[in-house]
Every structure is written in structure tokens, then in C-alpha cells.
């Protein structure tokens, strides 16, 4: 039992924060940020704009793109690490906002930057078991809520946004979410985590080292698991954390940079939203075409890491 991608959508808050804005707020420079991260700008939600607001906007766009109504969906999974409320879940609230009347199951997964892959992993399992017809995956984050303007080493790295993908059951096992692999190592908790007062605690150089080793590992593992080679892959859409991490992973895998989608320059690191947001950007700009095979490796707090193969 397989699945196929039938719709996508995204949402970015209207407020664009440039490196020049950070230069005015702290001891940093556009040159340092661009050289070390590749980031030029990011979107920040307004104070009142929530993860639910952003997720709902992306979901609405995906439904429109798929020409479906909310009751055509029979499960929503939201990847988020930054919900405003501990309960209920963002997924349930989005279903309510969109007027769902079918009592569908809806829940959140917290996998930090790898959350999107954890959500896709769940969806693949449900489809394989033949349990659901149409599943909407949303990645939505308000990272700006955690941005500590007294810490220049983390403040410049993150952005807000949401992306949504809709998959439906199909008889083909060569379309949609073809494979997923997800992993974790909780002993590395200290490397990158949130604090009780909503700040990001990160050992940047250690995080960098782990990212450039584990993301290629996950990519190699999933290609082997799926029985494909690099030549079968049309695009790598890596988690958008940092241009140097992306380029180093591409080099370690021997992938040409032309096959790597890059949005970190304009979106920064949107954590669990990064994958769906990047894919939506690629469709909107005619970069990735329907039918192509996309490999998405990710890495994040936990540690968590993994990869997915999607024929879009």
C-alpha cells in the first residue's frame, strides 16, 4: 500500500528581518552572518501571530492546491517545537479552525529540526498499514519566540514559517513518501536544547560537527535501504540550517551543488517547518517538478536525525 503527494502549501509572516536589522540590535555584521551561515534574511511573526495561525494558513493553501475540503482529510500531523500552548495540540486546533466535522485524529510530533521527517515517518506507517486515506503533514514554527537578542551566536540563525503537504493512499509504492529513516541519541541532549525561560542553548561548533556527519550518514542509509543510488535522486532538499552545513554534506556525499535546494538564505532555520516550506518554495518557483525524486536529510535537537525519500 503506497501513497502520493496531492497538494502543498506554505505560509511566511510578512515581516522580513534582515541582517542589517541585527546589526542595529547587537554586535554583529552582515558579513559575519553571511559568511558563517549563508543567511541574508528571515521572516518573523508578529507578537500575536501564533504557530496555529501559520499552520492554518499553510494548510488552507495546501487544501486549495489539492482542490480538497478539510473533511476530505482523515488525519493531520503537525511537526512543531514551538507551540504557544502545551495543550491541546496545534493539529487539533488547526482542524477546528478549518471547520473539520469528521472527528479525524490530529496530533503533534516534537522532533525539533527533524520533526518533519518524524511526521512523514508516521504517515508512511499509517499508509503502509492501510489505515488512512489522506494525511496532511504540517511543519510550523515560531522560532522567533526563542530568539535571545543577548546571544548573537544563536539569534541570527532562525526564522518563522509553515509548510503543508497532503498525501493520499495509492497502489503505487514508487510515489509519495517512499521511505523514511529516523533516529535519536538522547545522551547528546546538552548540545542543543531549549531552556525553561524559552532560550536556545547551543554548542554551535559541536552541533555543526554532528550535523555534517549524521546527515550524510542518514542520506547514505536511506539510499541503501531503498535500493537506489545517487544517480536516481533528482534533488536533495536538506534541512535548511546553515549553508556551510549544506555544502559540506553535499561534498561528503559527492552530490553536485546544482542538485541541492537552498532556501536558508531567505528563510534561515525554520526547524520543523524547513522541509515542507522548502518544497513548497521549489514548486512555486518551478524548480522541482512533479515526478522527481527528492531526498531530504535533517538533523536537530535531541539529538534527532533522519532522512526521507519522496517522489513528488
In whole angstroms, the minimum distance from the beta carbon of 202 to ligand ACO comes to: 6
Scanning 25-33, 71-79, 226-234, 246-254 for contacts with ligand ACO by CB under 6 A, the matching segment is 25-33
H or E stretch at 18: strand 16-18
d(CA 273, CA 261): 15
> Of 300 and 306, which CB lies nearer to ligand ACO in the complex structure?
300
Secondary-structure percent of the chain, ordered helix, strand, coil, rounded to 5: 40, 25, 30
> Of 131 and 262, which CB lies nearer to ligand ACO in the complex structure?
262
The answer to the question of residue 36 lying near ligand ACO (CB under 6 A) is yes
> Of 94 and 253, which CB lies nearer to ligand ACO in the complex structure?
253
| Alpha carbons within 13 A on the beta-carbon side of 245 | 30
In sequence order, the 6+-apart residues with CB closer than 8 A to the CB of 197 are none
Question: Residues 122, 162, 211, 243: which binds ligand ACO (CB under 6 A)?
Answer: 211
> Of 3 and 19, which CB lies nearer to ligand ACO in the complex structure?
19
Question: Residues 15, 18, 21, 28: which binds ligand ACO (CB under 6 A)?
Answer: 28
Q: Does 269 qualify as catalytic in the annotation? A: yes
Active-site residue, from 43, 132, 239, 267: 239
d(CA 181, CA 121): 7
DSSP assignments along 63-132, one per residue = HHHHT--GGG--EEEEE-S--SSSSS-HHHHHHHHTT--S---EEEE--GGGHHHHHHHHHHHHHHTT--
Active-site residue, from 113, 121, 132, 242: 113
The answer to the question of residue 300 lying near ligand ACO (CB under 6 A) is yes
d(CA 76, CA 131): 13
d(CA 49, CA 56): 11
Site string for ligand ACO, 223-252 (x = CB under 6 A): ----------------x-xx----------
The answer to the question of residue 156 lying near ligand ACO (CB under 6 A) is yes
Question: Residues 19, 37, 89, 144: which binds ligand ACO (CB under 6 A)?
Answer: 37
User: Are 111 and 299 within 8 A, CB to CB?
Assistant: no
Label the pairing between strands 134-142 and 75-79.
parallel
In whole angstroms, the minimum distance from the beta carbon of 146 to ligand ACO comes to: 11
d(CA 308, CA 131): 20
Q: Does 40 qualify as catalytic in the annotation? A: no
Q: Where are the beta strands (DSSP E) in 124-283?
A: 134-142, 160-170, 176-184, 192-194, 200-202, 235-236
Residues 90-149 that bind ligand ACO (CB under 6 A): 113
In whole angstroms, the minimum distance from the beta carbon of 9 to ligand ACO comes to: 23
- Residues with catalytic function: 113, 239, 269
Q: Which residues bind ligand ACO (CB under 6 A)?
A: 28, 32-33, 36-37, 113, 152-153, 156-157, 192, 202, 204-205, 207-208, 211, 239, 241-242, 269, 299-300
Amino acid at each position: 500500500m503506497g501513497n502520493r503527494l496531492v497538494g502543498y502549501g506554505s505560509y511566511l509572516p510578512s515581516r522580513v528581518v534582515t541582517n542589517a536589522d541585527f546589526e542595529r540590535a547587537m554586535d554583529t555584521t552582515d558579513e559575519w552572518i553571511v559568511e558563517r551561515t549563508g543567511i541574508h534574511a528571515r521572516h518573523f511573526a508578529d507578537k500575536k501571530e501564533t504557530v496555529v495561525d501559520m499552520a492554518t494558513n499553510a494548510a488552507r493553501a495546501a487544501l486549495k492546491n489539492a482542490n480538497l475540503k478539510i473533511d476530505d482529510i482523515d488525519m493531520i500531523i503537525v511537526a512543531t517545537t514551538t507551540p504557544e500552548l502545551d495543550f491541546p495540540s496545534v493539529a487539533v486546533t488547526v482542524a477546528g479552525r478549518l471547520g473539520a466535522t469528521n472527528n479525524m485524529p490530529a496530533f503533534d510530533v516534537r522532533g525539533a529540526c527533524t520533526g518533519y521527517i518524524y511526521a512523514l515517518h508516521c504517515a508512511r506507517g499509517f499508509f503502509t498499514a492501510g489505515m488512512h486515506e489522506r494525511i496532511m503533514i504540517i511543519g510550523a514554527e515560531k522560532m522567533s519566540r526563542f530568539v535571545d537578542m543577548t546571544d548573537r551566536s544563536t539569534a541570527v540563525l532562525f526564522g518563522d514559517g509553515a509548510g503543508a503537504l497532503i498525501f493520499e493512499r495509492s497502489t503505487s509504492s514508487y510515489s509519495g513518501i517512499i521511505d523514511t529513516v529516523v533516529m535519536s541519541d538522547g545522551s547528546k541532549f546538552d548540545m542543543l536544547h531549549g531552556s525553561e525561560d524559552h532560550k536556545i542553548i547551543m554548542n554551535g561548533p559541536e552541533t555543526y560537527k554532528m550535523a555534517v556527519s549524521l546527515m550524510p550518514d542518514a542520506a547514505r542509509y536511506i539510499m541503501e535501504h531503498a535500493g537506489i543510488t545517487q544517480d536516481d535522486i533528482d534533488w536533495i532538499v536538506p534541512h535548511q540550517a546553515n549553508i556551510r552545513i549544506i555544502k559540506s554534506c553535499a561534498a561528503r556525499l559527492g552530490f553536485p551543488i546544482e542538485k541541492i535546494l537552498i532556501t536558508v538564505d531567505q528563510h534561515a532555520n525554520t526547524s520543523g517547518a524547513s522541509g515542507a516550506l522548502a518544497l513548497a518554495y521549489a514548486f512555486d518557483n518551478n524548480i522541482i517538478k512533479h515526478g522527481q525524486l527528492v531526498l531530504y536529510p535533517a538533523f536537530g535537537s535531541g539529538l534527532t536525525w533522519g532522512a526521507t525519500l519522496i517522489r513528488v
